[in-house]
Structure 1
Amino acid sequence: MRHHPPPVHRRYARHMRGDPTDAEAVLWQALSARKLEGFKFRRQVPLKGFILDFVCFEARLIVEVDGWQHADNHRDRLRDTAFHEDGFRVQRFWNDEVIENSVLVCAAIRAELRNTGA
Structure 2
Amino acid sequence: MSRVVRIVSPFAKPLRKTSTEAERKVWRALRDRRFAETKLRRQHSVGPYIADFACISAKLILELDGSQHNDSREYDARRTAYLNECGWRVVRFPNAEVFTNFDWVMQTIAWHLAAQTTEHPHPGPR
Do they superpose with TM above 0.5? yes
Counterpart of 1:94, as a letter, is: P
**Contact 1:45–1:53 at 8 Å: present in 2 too?**
yes
Shift of 1:3: 2.7
Shift of 1:2: 8.3
Correspondence for 2:123? none
Residue 24 of structure 1 corresponds to: 23
Q: Which has the higher helix share?
A: 1
The two structures have a TM-score, normalised by structure 2, of 0.83
Unaligned runs of 5+ in 1: none
> How many residue pairs end up in the alignment?
114
1:92-111 correspondence to structure 2 within 5 Å? 92-111=92-111
Give the aligned CA root-mean-square deviation in angstroms: 1.8
- State the 1:79 CA deviation: 0.8
- 1:42-93 Cα distance to aligned partner (Å, 9 max, x none): 0011221111100000000000001112126101101111111121110000
Amino acid paired to 1:3: R
List aligned pairs for 1:1-40, cutoff 5 A.
Answer: 3-5=6-8, 9-10=9-10, 12-40=11-39
Report the CA distance between 1:117 and its aligned residue: 3.3
| AA aligned opposite 1:62 | I
Inter-partner Cα distance in structure 1 for 2:114 and 2:12: 28
Identity %: 35
Paired residue type of 2:26: L
Q: What's the TM-score once normalised by structure 1's chain length? A: 0.88
Aligned counterparts of 1:111 and 1:27: Cα–Cα separation in 2: 16
